[in-house]
Amino acid sequence: MAVDLQQIGKRFRFYTNLKELEMEQLKTMTGSDETTLSNIICGKNYALDELVAIVKHFEDLNPQWLIYGEGSMFKPMSEDGTCRDGQKGCLKKDKVAYLGQMREMLQELDAAECAKGHHADVDALKAKLDEYKATH
């Protein structure tokens, strides 16, 4: 399966928006420079080694989903319902204000995946957003 840098960028942007991570936070967390992070988010030319070095700083992010669009965005939770970083539900805080934006990004991601002939699990993500909205 070929790696699509633009799709990786869209998925990474979706993840960072969901986690409410700004560029300064990303630079601090990863030790990467703004140019490298911007290139990844924009899907521009970058080395996969740079991506791997950055992704290792996000314990709840599923690299299989990020790179190939397969599986869940988040790694499986532990039995007590927390992620590896100890956060409940893998989300930093209440995301109700972001549901509209996330839905739009999912639609964009879904359209791009379909155009490439990929079959990402976007419907499951939409359902999770709806479930989250209903409970908060």
How distant, in Å, are the alpha carbons of 52, 93, 98, 108, 135 from that of 130?
A: 31, 16, 12, 17, 9
Please tell me the predicted confidence (pLDDT) of residue 56. 92
CA 106/CA 45 separation, integer angstroms: 23
Least confident stretch, 51-55, 85-89, 124-128, 130-134: 85-89
**What are the phi and psi torsion angles at 68 (to 5°)?**
-110, -10
Look at residue 123 in the predicted model and tell me its pLDDT. 65
pLDDT digits (tens, 9 = 90+) for 56-99: 999 899 998 999 888 888 887 655 545 544 444 444 444 555 56
Domain boundaries, the chain: 5-135
Query: What was the pLDDT predicted at 57?
Result: 94
